[in-house]
Structure 1
Amino acid sequence: MLASHSKSNSAQWQWENAFAGAVAGFATVAVMHPLDVVRTRFQVNDGRVFNLPTYKNTPHAIFTIARSEGLRGLYAGFYPAVLGSTVSWGLYFFFYDRAKQRHSKSKEEKLSPGLHLASAAEAGALVCLCTNPIWLVKTRLQLQTPLHQTRPYFGLYDALRTIIREEGWSALYKGIVPGLFLQVSHGAIQFTAYEELRKVIVDIKSKDSKTNSQFDDKLLKSVDYAILGASSKIAAILLTYPFQVIRARLQQRPSSEGIPRYMDSWHVVKETVRFEGVKGFYKGITPNLLKNVPAASITFIVYENVLKLLKMTRRKE
């Protein structure tokens, strides 16, 4: 009976992580989406694309899109972004927590940085395989502008149906290779940095307050989660951003003749180095930082506080 009860609690804890992650993901996208549109358009603009407007900087891009395309332009691809982020964060926290439990010999044992890295990498790979079609649609919807000559996609369902009809099922997994590298490395770096910085803050606070560091959910406040989320996100973005650019360029819609702009990841790398240099791999990093650093803070504040609320509810039962 005890073993059965323990398994039940473990399963409940995993779904609590998934729910908290999903709520956090939704809150993040709802606030930061216009910067995501700007980032995507900067990423694919290699100076040789004629169906995209040219923007001087992030404020100019937001102003230009708002003036020429209205609120719809700033929130292009919003539904797949909400769906993708909510599903991604929910699955990520779920897979990440399960991997940590599997690597941990006991609940009290703290995992090493290497095991945190392995857990985050595993979660990232699984999430990427589940969500790549959603991100593909989001990218294409965000790149639709009044300058486009081809028939536009009329939302998430129409985009999926059109892509499958015109390009086949395999097209839904364009950009999967850089996507896997991105998800595995980005998530691994972010969560490892988050966990290690969290240990440092908890140790400092537990010494100051003479409280057992096992109860770190009582020691840490929302401001701590905000700092942890932002710091870990900056580290992850700086180290993995080129994968985002490669993926976005691969996920562009083919020409009206059905010819893709880039054939594969290596083609993107060669062409980018040839025409733009190393800086081409960091196009759009400013709106990316503006979007994702505060977004990471929001995500972890929401996630940790939803998790606390669920824990408190469970203890009362």
Structure 2
Amino acid sequence: MSASQSQSQSKWQWENAIAGAVAGFATVAATHPLDVVRTRFQVNDGRVSNLPIYKNTAHAIFAIARLEGLKGLYAGFFPSVLGSTVSWGLYFFFYGRAKQRYSKNRDEKLSPGLHLASAAEAGALVCLCTNPIWLVKTRLQLQTPLHQTQRYSGLYDALKTIMREEGWSALYKGIVPALFLQVSHGAIQFTAYEELRKVIVDYKSKESKRNHKTTDADLLNSVDYAMLGGSSKVAAIILTYPFQVIRARLQQRPGTDGFPKYTDSWHVMKETARFEGFRGFYKGITPNLLKNVPAASITFIVYENVLKLLKLTRRND
């Protein structure tokens, strides 16, 4: 590979990272209240809890707004923005590098299996980098006026308190289901996205009878990206949602006795199945779908359009 090709590929990787980071920020800013509601539904197992009982998503939003104000609806917003921006930036960066590594050249289309491997690899690396941020986000979202425990004042205070009270290892609570979630969810979503993208591109190519040199990006518009992002996200959510519930329950703050409610993933699974049945693994899925399906559409619209802009800027340099 020549020096110019190497430099071009490096720029392309960073363009993916920048586009992903911008997309992640836009997504979180638009949908965070639904994320708070989802988290509170996920950890409420119907037994003794410091959390209020909500009837449904709308009731939860109005109840939080009434009792806790805007601050309650945006609890954990900063770590959520930070985590999402870093996660999407790293994800697209690692995903782009993996795809590039698996293909012999940038123009070669990857098989579904290699798309799956690329997404899984990116998901695992991102999860290991960002788990402490998501842990703090979950704990901040679960703080309510009913809590008797000393509240965390923010991201830094939460990290400091967790390390002091529970040790460094506590920052990686929920890492096992998080890894399964990140790898499987990302793999399913991106594989579905890429395969559906191929179908739409092939259809539009035949319909328009464009020149064979026309790129895929020229054939697709924001509506296409919204449909692709939303459809792939639904498939990923339905198949991987139980991992989210398990992770959220493991990441709860220990009780006043200093002991966690659940010891490990297997304990969560047994207790959830015993007391709540199959439905317990899908608690909070409604606000999750309401949040993530449009969020995925926003993410991919922003990502693809920012990527187009960056590539256009590079061509003009």
Specify the TM-score bucket, using the shorter chain as the normaliser.
Answer: over 0.9
Q: 1:160 and 1:132 mapped to 2: Cα distance? A: 12
Q: 2:223 and 2:18 mapped to 1: Cα distance? A: 22
Contact 1:35–1:288 under 8 Å retained in 2: yes
Q: Deviations over 1:28-74 (max 9, x none)?
A: 00000000000000000001132000000000000000000000000
Residue type of the partner of 1:164? M
1:259 paired with 2:265, answer no
- Pairs within 5 Å for 1:303-314: 303-314=303-314
Q: Deviations over 1:234-262 (max 9, x none)?
A: 00000000000000000000012210000
Residue type of the partner of 1:152? R
- Pairs within 5 Å for 1:106-145: 106-145=105-144
Q: Deviations over 1:141-200 (max 9, x none)?
A: 000000001000000000000000000000000000000000000000000000000000
The answer to which of 11-20 and 211-220 deviates more is 211-220
Q: 2:168 and 2:48 mapped to 1: Cα distance? A: 26
Q: 2:226 and 2:213 mapped to 1: Cα distance? A: 19
Residue type of the partner of 1:311? K
Partner SS, residue 314 of structure 2 = helix
- Pairs within 5 Å for 1:206-221: 206-211=205-210, 212=212, 215-221=215-221
Q: 1:213 to 1:84 in 2, by over 3 A?
A: farther
Aligned equivalent of 2:232: 232
The TM-score, its normalising length taken from structure 2, stands at: 0.99
Q: 1:107 and 1:95 mapped to 2: Cα distance? A: 15
Q: 1:4 and 1:183 mapped to 2: Cα distance? A: 34
Q: 2:86 and 2:244 mapped to 1: Cα distance? A: 19
Q: Deviations over 1:187-225 (max 9, x none)?
A: 000000000000000000001111237601100000000
Aligned equivalent of 2:77: 78
Q: 2:308 and 2:91 mapped to 1: Cα distance? A: 18
Q: 2:294 and 2:200 mapped to 1: Cα distance? A: 20
Q: C-alpha displacement at 1:130, in angstroms?
A: 0.2
Structure 2: gaps of 5 or more residues: none
Aligned equivalent of 1:296: 296
Residue type of the partner of 1:280? G
Q: 1:249 to 1:213 in 2, by over 3 A?
A: farther
Q: Deviations over 1:61-120 (max 9, x none)?
A: 000000000000000000000000000000000000000000001222110000000000
Contact 1:23–1:302 under 8 Å retained in 2: yes
Contact 1:206–1:213 under 8 Å retained in 2: no
- Pairs within 5 Å for 1:59-208: 59-208=58-207
The sequence identity of aligned pairs, in percent, is 81
Residue type of the partner of 2:59? H
The TM-score, its normalising length taken from structure 1, stands at: 0.99
Contact 1:203–1:213 under 8 Å retained in 2: no
Q: 2:214 and 2:283 mapped to 1: Cα distance? A: 42
Structure 1: gaps of 5 or more residues: none
Residue type of the partner of 2:305? N
1:48 paired with 2:47, answer yes
Partner SS, residue 259 of structure 2 = coil
Q: 2:59 and 2:48 mapped to 1: Cα distance? A: 19
Partner SS, residue 215 of structure 2 = helix
